[in-house]
Structure formats: structure tokens, C-alpha cells
Amino acid sequence: MPAVTQKLDFVGGERMRHTEGKLDRSVMITLRLIEWLGLLLIVIGTLVAIGFEIRRVMADGTVSLKDILLLFIYLEVITMVGLYFSSGKLPLRYTLYIAMVAVARYIILGMKEMTGWTVVALTCAILVLALTTLVIRYEDVKLPNDDA
């Protein structure tokens, strides 16, 4: 009797695996499409924000450090999406770069209203982000992982 059961499981298992393969492929295609559309929306939103920022700078007639840092953040977001499209991987370091610039911009914009300890805490946050970037970079160079 075990031989008959094995044969039935084998026949049914093959059919099930074939159906699962089609389903898996359909799900993966759907997820890739959703991912692609989400990234496209991020790029379009970033480009619109860049346009608004450039228009505001031109209307003001002056460019400040906060404007340059904001444009830099936008460009880093576009670079990160471009790297994801080209490699299929999301580089964590770029997210950390964006965070460092965002914290620096926050300090620059609100330094007059901040206490000394707040500025020190935010500066320490940038230092932690920079050290994290260094550790990740060291790991990428010294301990490469082809599976990631």
C-alpha cells in the first residue's frame, strides 16, 4: 500500500508543483509591477519637488545653504532609485547619506531656536550615522556577500 500512496503523491505533487510555479510567477510579476510603479511615483514626486524648489529659489532671487542641501537630498533619492533599478538592490549607505544631510539641514534651519544640548545630540546622531556608514562600507569591502 505505501507504494500506491507514494505514486499518488508523486502524480498529485507534480501537478501541484506545476500550478504553484505558475502562481509564483504571477505573484512575482505582480509584485515587480507594483514595485516599479512605486519607484516611478517616488521619482516623479521627487522631480516635482525639485521643480517647486527651483521655482521658489528663482522667485526669491537667492540661493541659501538650506536650498542646496534640500536639492542634494532630492538628488540622492533619485540616485538611490536609479541604483535600485540598475542593480535590483537598495544600497543602505545612500539611505544613511540622505539621513545625514537631512539632520544637517534640520540643524541649519533651526539652530537659533535649539538649545546647545539639542545641537550636540543631533551632531552625535550624524556621527552615529557616519560610523554606521563606515562599518557598512568596511563590511562590503572586507566581507563581500554575493548572496545579498
Place of cell 563590511: 139
Judged against a pLDDT cut of 60, whether residue 12 lies above it is answered with no
Residue 5 to residue 55: CA distance in whole angstroms? 73
pTM value is 0.65
Residue 11 to residue 72: CA distance in whole angstroms? 59
Residue 122 to residue 124: CA distance in whole angstroms? 5
Residue 64 to residue 124: CA distance in whole angstroms? 24
Question: pLDDT tens, 51-87?
Answer: 999 999 999 999 998 899 899 999 989 988 998 888 8
Q: What is the overall mean pLDDT for the chain?
A: 83
pLDDT at 10: 47
Do 96 and 131 form a contact (C-beta atoms < 8 A)? Answer: no
pLDDT at 59: 95
pLDDT at 7: 47
For residue 50, is it within any domain? yes
Owning domain of residue 119: 2-142
Residue 16 to residue 25: CA distance in whole angstroms? 14
pLDDT at 89: 79
Choose the weakest-confidence range: 7-16, 44-53, 63-72, 90-99: 7-16
For residue 147, is it within any domain? no
For residue 117, is it within any domain? yes
Judged against a pLDDT cut of 60, whether residue 18 lies above it is answered with no
For residue 148, is it within any domain? no
Residue 68 to residue 80: CA distance in whole angstroms? 18
For residue 51, is it within any domain? yes
Q: How many domains does the chain have?
A: 1
Local structure of 26: helix, strand or coil: helix
